[in-house]
Amino acid sequence: MTPPTGSPSWAWAGACLCLPGGPRATRAAASLSRFTGAVAATVATIAIFATLLSQPVPAAAQASSSPTTGTAQPKPIFRVRQSIDNANLVAFGDSTGNKLADLFVIDRAKRSVSVHTWDPKLKSFQPPHAPALTLSSTLKDHEIANVVAGDFNADGQLDLLLTMAHVHEASTYHTELYLNTNGSYVPTGGLYIAGTVGAQPMLADVSGNMFPDLIAVPKDNGTHAFVWLNTRSEPGQAPKFALEGVPMNSTMCVPTDVAFVDVDGDCKPDMFVVCERHATGHEGVEYQIWSAASASESQASPQQQWDLIRSGSLPLGAGPISFADIDADGTLDAMYTVCTTECTLHVVYNQQIPLCTSTSPNSQSRARCRDLSNLCSRDPSFRLDFTSPSIIPVLRKDTGGAWASSDVSRLHLGDFNLDGYPDVLFVSGGSVTVLQNVPCSAVRDVHDCAHWASVDPRSFVALSHGIPTGRGIVDAAWFDLDENGSLDIVVRQISRSNVPSTLLYENTLALDAFFVKTLTTGAECTRDCHAHSVNSLGSSFKLTVIDTKGVKKAIQLTQTYATSNQALQLPYALTGLGRTNNYIEELAVGVSRADQHPSTNTFQGVIPNSQLVIYPRAGGASWRLELFINPSQYAVNVLVVLVVSLVVLGVVVGVMQWVERREDEREKIFL
C-alpha cells in the first residue's frame, strides 16, 4: 500500500497500526498506546524533575528563615574559606604554569617573598614548597614595598620584580629582578635594575616589543622621568635594561601612577599618566594620556614614539584611577574617589563611536559606528571628560577617611554576579565595602545618575550583608578562588600585634549566567613552556554577545594595567555575560606590539564558560587560541537525572514487554 501524498512518515506509520486486523492487532495497538502514554508521562515527569534539580536559586531569593523569629534573614554572600597567617598578599600569578593562580606573600618583617600554590584536590592554598626569596644582607636598610610578577626574559616562566623601600630615606627605592629557575627564585641572585626616588617604579611596554619596561625617576635626576628599556638578549637568559629618556614627542610630567590601558578604542594599550603636580601650579593633580605613534609617524626613530593626545586636571583629594567597562558599551571607563569633607565616587564614561547594530548598507550611517568586523578601530575623537564626571555620593567621610590619605588603595572592579557590569570593591575605615553596579532606574535619589555621557547610565548600591568584616583590614581584591568563573574576595588584614594575614572569602551566589576568562601570553613563548603564567601587560579584549532580548552589545576587558603600590591586579580578565543562550560572536584581542607586526586579531564563535589563552605570534605567523571549558557546577545533577531517566525508561520498557508476553500467552491458550 502506498502512503497518501504529502503524509509524513510518522503519521503514515501510526495510520497503519490503526487498521483493522483482528483482536491481536487491536491488543497490540492498545499495548503500544499504553506504552507510548507511559513513556510520555515518564519523560515529562523526569523533565520537570531535572529542571527543578538543575535550576539555581536566584540571588535575590537566597534567604533563610530564622528559627527563633521566623523572619527572613539574608544568607551571607561571601563566607570565609581559608586563612593564611604571617602572609601579606602582594601579587597574583601562575608560578607553576598549571593555569591556576597562586598567591605571592611577604612576611611580617617584609624581608622575604614566598609562594602559596593552589591545590585543586584539597581546594586550598598550600604552604610554600620552595625556599622563600629573602633579601640579601646588603639590603638590610630596605624592606619590600612592591612585587610584580611577569615574564621578563621570554622563557614563559613567572619572574619577580621586587621594589624595596629604604627604611630611613623616604620615597627612595631599590629595584631588582629575580628570574624563575624551574619554579624557584633562589639561589639565583637579584639583577639590579635601578635606584629611584619619588613614586614607586611602574611597568609599561614603552618599546612595543611585548616585554615590560620600567618607568621611574632616577636618584641622580629627580625632575624627569626615565625608562629602563628591557632590551633582553636570547630567550631564557637574563634581560638587559638600558636607561633611556622616555621616547615622547612632548614632555612627560613626573609620574605618580601609570595605567597601561586602551582608552581610544584601538585595543592597543595607551599610557594614562597621573602626575605629581600640575604643570601650571594649580591645586590638584594632572593627568596625561599618551598614545603610541603609528609606524609611519615613528619610522625615523628606532624606538616606538609616543604622542600626547589628552591632558587635564583632577580634583584635590582624587584617589588612584581604575578602569573597566562600567556601562557595557565596549569602551573602558574611568572611576576614582574624591575625599575632601566627604568621599564621593566619580565615574567618567568613555565616549566613542558606538557599535554598528544595523545591517543596513547605508554608508553614511555605518561611518558613524564601529563595524563588527573592525572592533579594534581607533576613535581619534574619543572623549574622556574629567571635568563633568558622574558623581555618586555613596561614601561618607566617617567611613571613608582612609581614602583621603596619601597611601590610597585602589578601587577594585570586578563582576561578582556575572551580569556583565563590573562591581566595586574597596576598603575604607578598616572595613570592606562592595558596591553593586545597578541601572539608574533601580535606584532612588541618586544625584547626577542619568548622565548624558552614557546611553545606559549606571549607579552603585552598597551591599548591606554578607561581606567580609573584621578588624585591621587594610585592603581587599577580587580573585577567582576555585577557578570556576566566579569572583571571590581576598582580604589583607593586620592584627593588633602587627602580624599580617590573608583571608579568602568564597562567593556563595548560585548564578544563572555565563562568563568568560581571557589572557594573552608573551611574544615568543608559544609551545613547550609555562606560557599561561606570563602576566602580559595591558592587553585588551572586546567581545560581542546577544542577550535574551536579542540585543547585541559589546564589552571591553583589560588585563593587568597597573603594577605599582601593590595594585593586586589579576593575571587575567574575567567578566560575566549575563543570561544569554548564544556564543560569543566576536572576540577582538589587542596587545602592545609595535605596528611593524600585527597587534590585533579577531576570533569568531567562542564558547562561553571557558578560559581563553591567546598566543599573539609575531613575524606573520597566525595567532593561536586555546580554549579550556569550565565544567558546570550542575554536571553532577545532570548526570544523576540522566541515570535515573535511563533506569525509569528501562523499567517501563521491561514492564510493557512482560505485559505483552502475558497477553500473547493468553491468546494462545484461548486459540
What pLDDT score does 278 carry? 46
In a domain, 399, yes or no: yes
What pLDDT score does 75 carry? 72
What pLDDT score does 281 carry? 54
CB atoms within 10 A of CB 642: 12
Is the same domain home to 441 and 520?
A: no
User: E-strand spans in 595-665?
Assistant: 600-606, 610-615, 624-629
Is the same domain home to 609 and 568?
A: yes
Cα angle 35, 40, 42 (rounded to 5 degrees) comes to 95
Nearest of 305, 296, 561 to residue 410 by alpha carbon: 561
Give the residue numbers spanning the domain of 549: 514-629
Cβ proximity of 111 and 144 under 8 Å: yes
Is the same domain home to 439 and 525?
A: no
454, 473, 507 - which closes a domain:
507
- CA–CA dist 302, 305 (Å, integer): 9
Is the same domain home to 377 and 523?
A: no
Is the same domain home to 308 and 432?
A: yes
What pLDDT score does 310 carry? 93
Is the same domain home to 248 and 342?
A: yes
In a domain, 444, yes or no: yes
**What 8-state DSSP symbol labels residue 442?**
G
Nearest of 344, 464, 501, 487 to residue 413 by alpha carbon: 487
450, 479, 507 - which closes a domain:
507
Is the same domain home to 379 and 434?
A: yes
Is the same domain home to 343 and 251?
A: yes
In a domain, 397, yes or no: yes
In a domain, 27, yes or no: no
Nearest of 242, 161, 250 to residue 203 by alpha carbon: 161
In a domain, 24, yes or no: no
Is the same domain home to 132 and 186?
A: yes
What CATH number is attached to the domain comprising 453? Answer: 2.130.10
Which segments in the chain show pLDDT lower than 50?
1-26, 28, 48-71, 278-279, 300, 360, 364, 396-408
What pLDDT score does 297 carry? 52
Is the same domain home to 167 and 192?
A: yes
In a domain, 171, yes or no: yes
In a domain, 366, yes or no: no
User: Could you give the number of structural domains in the chain?
Assistant: 2
What pLDDT score does 209 carry? 85
Is the same domain home to 497 and 554?
A: no
Nearest of 125, 189, 107 to residue 494 by alpha carbon: 107
Query: Against a cut of 0.85, is the pTM above it?
Result: no
In a domain, 240, yes or no: yes
473, 507, 541 - which closes a domain:
507
Query: Residue 161 is placed in which grid cell?
Result: 620584580
Is the same domain home to 445 and 460?
A: yes
Cβ proximity of 555 and 543 under 8 Å: yes
What pLDDT score does 536 carry? 85
pLDDT digits (tens, 9 = 90+) for 448-494: 565 666 778 888 888 877 777 777 888 999 999 988 889 999 999 99
Nearest of 250, 254, 287 to residue 272 by alpha carbon: 287
